[in-house]
Amino acid sequence: MAATLSDKLVVAISSRALFDFEEENHLFEAGDEAAYMRYQLEHVHAPARPGIADALVRKLLAFNTSQAQRVEVVMLSRNDPASGLRVFASAQAAGMAIERGVFTRGRNPFAYLRPLGAHLFLSANEADVRQALAEGFPAARVMTDATPAGDRYPHEVRIAFDGDAVLFSDEAERVYQAGGLQQFLAHEQALATTPLGSGPFRPLLAALHRLQQQAQASQTMRVRTALVTARSAPAHERAVRTLLQWGITVDEAMFLGGLEKGPFLRAFEPDFFFDDQSGHVQSAAAHVPAGHVASGVSNPEPG
């Protein structure tokens, strides 16, 4: 019987998101493929330094036990297969049980998200992230210069989400951008009991909710989630009611009313934060690992 990933939370991740390959990437982006391959092969036994998604991946893999394999992390990379040797060697040296990978030698890798059934795609390549989002997969561009995750919560994977255009659709954000704050508040009050549409990261939140339920018996690892949004009362009600209607809960909710998100995220200490607004992502990256979700009205297609 063929192996399947259908019963697992599947994370697809690029080599630059998991490891610090920024120096090597200069060769890759310069178009000197031979030099890049030669460098990676010459350093195949030199483990790469941890990248920004290191803590997130380690903690998710810690949900796997000898009794149950609940999480699958798959390398999905523009690297060539030969350079993939160093990627797998670095993962092995770091004690990460990563067995599967797809290496496309410069081609777009996002097409493989569907056969993987990925719940999350993390990459440093904005074009790949946009394509993945367009195909309906939760995806974010990793800020490779962000602050690494802290180590105070070794038995909790902590993930924070923005609301509009991330967990929820960008319906309300469109109203805000077209009519301003007062029109937005009136719109959200009038529709307080009408659930918002799904955003690109609802599938990931749902998968994390299932993972938490599956892992409850072992109590080895836990999931802790937070909604961190610029909404404030009375617009908070629609967001909360939407999550209740979905049957999904978050552990913390921060309705910041436009306050800078970075300091609040520093207090929450997530292993990753996802937001569609580049300004919020930059603020967050000064404190925690962060990824830009290029979806919704705030992220028109370039050009």
Catalytically annotated residues: 162
Q: How far apart are the first and last CA of the chain?
A: 47
